[in-house]
């Protein structure tokens, strides 16, 4: 089978463990993954196994490649596992159901499971704490989640909602390699929000109907309250919980009301506010040394997208604004 490798080598700058022999692999799997090896090939003394890990504000992304046929048994977790194919052949046993992990199908599990992989199998795994996911779902629907979460184990990646999920995931993976330090707080937190929302919209679960049906409207004062909050907290992540708390409406209701009364979403409004701050930083701050610094400080992970949005808003590239300020400072000196 040809290897698809849709994301290059994910999380390459964030190694979790490497193992070149079985004892080291067993220790690593136990300590890092809370799992145990249950099947190995007879000639597996020399191996090349690796795992990468990146922690988002609440969830974590893993990339695993063992370089040999292997089976791992996982106990029931406190998180939801989303397994995404990267290369090779692999499947997961959940009870008596076998769920292949392929370029066209992901696997979701919330209970004990056994991963059974061929030697060429590589996967990306997203671990989402169950409590965190329930909070997000409550914020999106505007109702308490009292019955827990149960997912269909097979996630069809060909459906439109899953296509959006994979696009957001690609943005997250790009940000893990390009954004760091204090600037990462806004970027990664909001990308994680988008990833969770896309996942809940794509997966089949008992609350899916509530997400699919039209959201109730929100009052104009609730929209204005959301705008005031975003303006006052432009340098902080815009989260589902905070919008729900500030407005007293579900996030879906606020998004719908924004779209109807303003013609844009709360996140697009936040982008406009942040672009304004970026422009002022480029024009006024003597400490700014690069467009990259400004973009990251204002919550933009993709420099190309930032430049395009800036030019669309102000008719010139951010580099031109910065150059003009530097030239003016040289003239004064």
Long-range contacts of 67-71 (CB under 8 A, 24+ apart): 67/119, 68/40, 68/41, 68/44, 68/119, 69/39, 69/40, 69/41, 69/117, 69/118, 69/119, 70/37, 70/39, 70/40, 70/115, 70/117, 71/37, 71/38, 71/39, 71/114, 71/115, 71/116, 71/117
Rounded CA gap, 20 and 81, in Å? 26
Give the mean pLDDT of 127-155. 89
Q: Is residue 81 part of a domain?
A: yes
> Could you tell me the pTM of the whole model?
0.84
Average pLDDT, whole number, for the chain?
89
Residue 227 in contact with residue 161, Cβ under 8 Å? no
Q: Is residue 250 part of a domain?
A: no
Candidates 106, 274, 270, 70; CA nearest to 199 is 106
Listing DSSP states for 195-237 in one string gives HHHHHHHHS-BTTHHHHHSPPPP--HHHHHHHHHHHHHTTTS-
**Percentage of the chain with pLDDT > 70?**
94
Answer with the residue of higher pLDDT: 137 or 83.
83
Rounded CA gap, 310 and 333, in Å? 29
Q: Is residue 244 part of a domain?
A: no
Q: Which of 80, 106, 131 is the last residue of a domain?
A: 131
> Among 175-184, 194-203, 213-222, 271-280, whose mean pLDDT is lowest?
175-184
Backbone angles phi, psi at 153, to 5 degrees: -70, -30
Q: Is residue 162 part of a domain?
A: no
Q: Is residue 240 part of a domain?
A: no
Confidence check: pLDDT of 145 > 90? no
β strands within the chain, DSSP E: 15-19, 36-39, 49-55, 60-65, 70-74, 79-87, 90-94, 97-100, 105-109, 113-117, 122-129, 154-156
Tens digit of each residue's pLDDT (9 = 90 or more) over 10-54 = 899 999 999 998 889 999 999 999 999 998 777 666 788 999 999
| Residue environment code for 151-186, b if the CB has 16+ CB neighbours within 10 A, otherwise e | bebbbebeeebbebbeebbebbbebbeebeeebbeb
Q: Which of 131, 150, 185 is the last residue of a domain?
A: 131
Tens digit of each residue's pLDDT (9 = 90 or more) over 66-106 = 988 999 999 999 999 999 999 999 999 999 999 999 999 99
Residues in Cβ contact with 190 at an 8 Å cutoff, skipping those fewer than 6 apart: 237, 238, 239, 267, 299
CATH number for the domain harbouring residue 306: 1.10.10.60
Structural domain count, the chain: 2
Both tokens assigned to 193: 């929000």
Identify the domain containing residue 109 by its residue range.
15-131
Confidence check: pLDDT of 332 > 80? no
Both tokens assigned to 87: 């290369």
Q: Sheet harboring 113-117: ordered strands across?
A: 36-39, 70-74, 113-117, 90-94, 97-100
Q: Is residue 83 part of a domain?
A: yes
Beta bridge partners of 107: 83, 154
Residue 119 in contact with residue 102, Cβ under 8 Å? no
Q: Which of 107, 131, 155 is the last residue of a domain?
A: 131
Tens digit of each residue's pLDDT (9 = 90 or more) over 291-313 = 988 988 888 878 888 999 999 99
Candidates 190, 193, 203; CA nearest to 161 is 203
CATH number for the domain harbouring residue 42: 2.60.120.10
Q: Is residue 287 part of a domain?
A: yes
Q: Is residue 308 part of a domain?
A: yes
Q: For residue 333, what pLDDT is reported?
A: 60
Beta bridge partners of 81: 109, 127
């Amino acid at each position: 089978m040809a290897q698809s490798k849709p994301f290059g080598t994910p999380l390459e700058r964030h190694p979790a463990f490497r193992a070149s022999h079985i004892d080291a692999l067993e220790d690593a799997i136990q300590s890092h993954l809370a799992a145990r090896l249950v099947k190995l090939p007879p000639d597996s003394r020399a191996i090349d196994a690796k795992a990468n890990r990146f922690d988002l504000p609440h969830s974590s992304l893993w990339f695993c490649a063992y370089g040999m046929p292997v089976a791992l048994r996982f106990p029931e977790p406190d998180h939801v596992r989303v397994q995404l194919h990267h290369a090779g052949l692999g499947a997961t046993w959940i009870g008596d159901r076998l769920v292949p992990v392929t370029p066209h199908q992901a696997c979701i599990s919330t209970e004990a499971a056994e991963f059974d992989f061929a030697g060429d199998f590589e996967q990306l795994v997203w671990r989402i704490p169950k409590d965190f996911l329930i909070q997000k779902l409550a914020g999106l629907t505007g109702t308490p989640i009292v019955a827990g979460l149960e997912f269909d184990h097979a996630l069809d990646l060909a459906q439109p909602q899953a296509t959006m999920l994979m696009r957001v995931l690609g943005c997250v993976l790009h940000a893990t390699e390009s954004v760091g330090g204090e600037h990462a707080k806004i970027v990664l937190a909001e990308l994680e929000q988008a990833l969770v929302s896309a996942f809940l919209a794509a997966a089949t679960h008992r609350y899916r109907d509530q997400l699919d049906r039209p959201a109730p409207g929100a009052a104009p004062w609730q929209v204005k309250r959301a705008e005031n909050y975003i303006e006052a907290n432009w340098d902080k992540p815009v989260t589902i919980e905070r919008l729900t708390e500030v407005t007293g409406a579900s996030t879906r209701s606020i998004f719908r009301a924004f779209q109807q009364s303003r013609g844009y979403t709360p996140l697009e409004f936040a982008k406009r506010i942040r672009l304004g701050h970026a422009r002022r930083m480029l024009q006024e701050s003597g400490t700014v040394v690069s467009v990259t610094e400004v973009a990251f400080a204002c919550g933009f992970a993709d420099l190309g997208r930032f430049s395009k949005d800036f030019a669309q808003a102000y008719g010139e590239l951010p580099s031109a604004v910065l150059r003009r300020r530097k030239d003016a400072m040289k003239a004064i000196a």
